[in-house]
Amino acid sequence: MGVTAAPVFLVHGYSDSGAAFAPWRTKLTALGFDPTTLHVADWRSLSDELTLADLAEGFERALRARRDLAGGTPLRIVAHSAGALVVRAWLAAHPARRAQVTHFVGLGPAHFGSPLAHKGRSFVGMVAKGNRTLGEDFLEVGDGVLDALELASLETWDLAHRDLLRADLEHPVARWSYSICGTGALAWPVAAVTDAAGSDGVVRWAGSALDVRKLTVDLSRGGTERVRIDGVRPRDVPLAFVPERHHGALLSRPTGDLATMVAEALAVTTEGADAAWRARWVGRHTPREAWQQLIVRVRDERGAPVPDHHVEFEATDRAGVRTRLVGVASDVHRNRRDPSYRAFHVQLRDVRRSTIAALQLRVLARSGSSAVGYRGMGSARADGWDGAIDLTTAWPDRNVSLFWPFTTTLIELVLDREPRPFVGENRVLRLRH
């Protein structure tokens, strides 16, 4: 393994500090990395007023202040947890830097947040994670960062459109990008409160992947394509697993296979070396239970949110029997700030992909008013619009499956918001003689 002299940035996650990367600095130095090239990005995550955009600008300002890190200097980045979001937000805000970042390694990267983020504002969260340094941020928990880290957040949805789903970007983060997740569980009693299936105790495996697709279902009258898929890349970003490591241990225990995986990823410079890394590590410790995450947003044709909605999937098997996929809706999180965004965590054994001959998506939306309602390219009910679309016949590529292990799929549903009744004189505005 050849080690180059290019700088390596170590970016910590929420509620941590640069000191948390001390074990990694020691380990990488022992593996042959020059300690003078190892830099720690120490960012404030527990200040309520700071946002992801603020942190992105702070990263850029810090780089500009260093003459030895000018625009042409290759940069390699190792980011833990929410640190991955900081890096992506920085690159989205300063796209010229993309050519400079050659390597990106995510350790339990929170690309789509964490199921624990919405709990961080509670009193327990304040005591456990709140800032204990006396000053203006004392006992603050970082509301701005937690907003971005909440499941189905506006920030992660927007960020995915700015990098992961852009067709003009050959690579979402760096030329050589890798995600590494742990499969270990947190210790009791913390695990009883925070641990969750399909995760490393803090971040979902499916939400750590950089392979993201978007499915747009446009049921508005002006929609020209009822179903459209975006973001399918010809080259996937590898996701590897390491056993006996929970979320925190990915940072505190850089030993064994984990240290080797990261060091080898940072040393990749050719297609052959990348293929060798994939062959050695991808699939080696993949969990038996496969999970997927669906992030659903429902809006009207003007872009306004539709917060009161219900989405479900129905499958028809080869014998023609239709059943509701209960497993898809068994773990759903409504975003606190905007419930038109929702995260579905799906255990794929409940879906039984191989038996699905046809797949239908159904949405029920209500406005809360008898004067206005939602409708799609179908019929309307008296209390709202209950519509369905057959994804099987409308699917652009029959070789692409909606359900795919350890990935996140964004689904955007577009409905028409119209005065009632939908035909004839309406209740919103009447013209009188």
The pLDDT score that the predictor gives to residue 117 is 87
Res. 226: pLDDT tops 90:
no
pLDDT at 430 over 80: yes
Rounded Cα distance between 145 and 52, Å, is: 6
For residue 129, the model assigns a pLDDT of 56
Report whether 293 contacts 407 (CB < 8 A).
Answer: yes
In which residue are the tokens 């979001």 written? 85
Backbone angles phi, psi at 217, to 5 degrees: -115, 100
Q: Is 395 helix (H, G, I), strand (E, B) or coil?
A: coil
pLDDT tens digits for range 105-160:
999 999 999 998 887 655 445 444 554 454 444 445 778 899 999 999 999 999 99
**Model pLDDT, residue 137:** 46
pTM of the model: 0.90
* pLDDT cut 70: percent of the chain above it: 85
Alpha-carbon separation of residue 4 from 259, 332, 389 (angstroms): 17, 45, 53
User: How many other C-beta atoms are found inside a 10 Å radius of the C-beta of residue 398?
Assistant: 8
Encoded tokens for 63: 């780089």
pLDDT digits (tens, 9 = 90+) for 162-179: 999 988 888 889 999 999
Cβ distance 280 to 397 under 8 Å? no
The helix or strand, by DSSP H or E, that contains position 50, with its residue range, turns out to be: none
**Cα within 13 Å of Cα(326), Cβ side:** 1
Q: Which two tokens stand for residue 357?
A: 């001959």
Give the pLDDT confidence score for residue 135 in this predicted structure.
46
- Rounded Cα–Cα distance for residues 423 and 225 (Å): 24
Do residues 36 and 108 touch, judged by C-beta distance below 8 A?
Answer: no
Paired residues of 297 in beta bridges: 341, 412
| Mean pLDDT along residues 308-337 | 86
pLDDT in tens, 363-384: 889 999 989 988 875 554 544 5
Q: State pLDDT tens for residues 255-281.
A: 999 999 999 999 999 999 999 999 999
Treating both helix axes as pointing N-terminal to C-terminal, what angle do 256-267 and 22-30 enclose, rounded to 10 degrees?
A: 70
Query: Residue with structure tokens 């189905």?
Result: 152
- Outline which parts of the chain fall under CATH 3.40.50.1820: 8-210+233-281
**pLDDT value of residue 203:** 94
Closest by CA to 57, choosing from 25, 23, 86, is: 86
Q: Quick one: which of 129, 118, 103 has its CA closest to 11? A: 103
Which pLDDT score is estimated for 139? 40
Q: Is the peptide bond before 421 cis (omega within 30 degrees of 0)?
A: yes
Phi, psi of 413 (to 5 degrees): -105, 130
CA 91 to chain centroid, in Å, comes to 16
Query: Is 232 a residue whose pLDDT tops 80?
Result: no
Q: At 371, which amino acid appears?
A: A
Tens-digit pLDDT profile for residues 203-216 = 999 999 998 989 88
- β-bridge partners, 150: 114
Distance of CA 228 to the CA centre of its chain: 20
Helices and strands counted in the chain (H then E) = 11, 17
Identity (one letter) of the amino acid at 201?
Answer: G
> CATH 2.60.40 region(s) of the chain?
291-419
Among residues of the chain, what percentage have pLDDT more than 90? 56
* 307 pLDDT higher than 90: yes
Average pLDDT, the chain: 86
Mean pLDDT of 350-354: 73
CATH number of 291-419: 2.60.40
Edge-first strand order for the sheet with 309-317 is: 322-324, 309-317, 356-365, 385-390
What is the per-residue pLDDT across 25-71, written as a single tens digit (0 to 9) for each?
999 999 999 999 999 999 988 888 899 999 999 999 999 998 877 66
Tell me, what's the pLDDT at 295?
A: 96
pLDDT at residue 134, as a whole number? 41
Q: Is 152 left (phi over 0), alpha (psi -120 to 50) or beta?
A: left
Q: Which residues contact 170 (CB under 8 A, 6 or more apart)?
A: none
Q: What is the mean pLDDT of residues 417-430?
A: 89
How many residues are present in the chain? 433
Structural contact between residues 52 and 155, judged by C-beta atoms closer than 8 angstroms:
yes
- The answer to whether 159 and 95 have CB atoms below 8 angstroms apart is no
In 73-120 the beta strands, taken as DSSP E runs, fall at 75-80, 101-107
153-166 in b/e form (b: 16+ CB < 10 A) is bbbbbebbbbbbbe
Mean predicted confidence (pLDDT) in 2-28: 91
| CA gyration radius, the chain | 23
Say which CATH architecture domain 8-210+233-281 belongs to: 3-Layer(aba) Sandwich (3.40)
**Separation in Å, CA 290 to CA 37, 61, 198, 224, 302:** 38, 41, 8, 35, 37
**Model pLDDT, residue 402:** 81
What average pLDDT does the segment 205-230 reach? 82
- Closest-CA residue to 9 (of 80, 57, 85, 72): 80
Taking the CB of residue 28, how many other CB atoms lie within 10 A of it?
Answer: 24
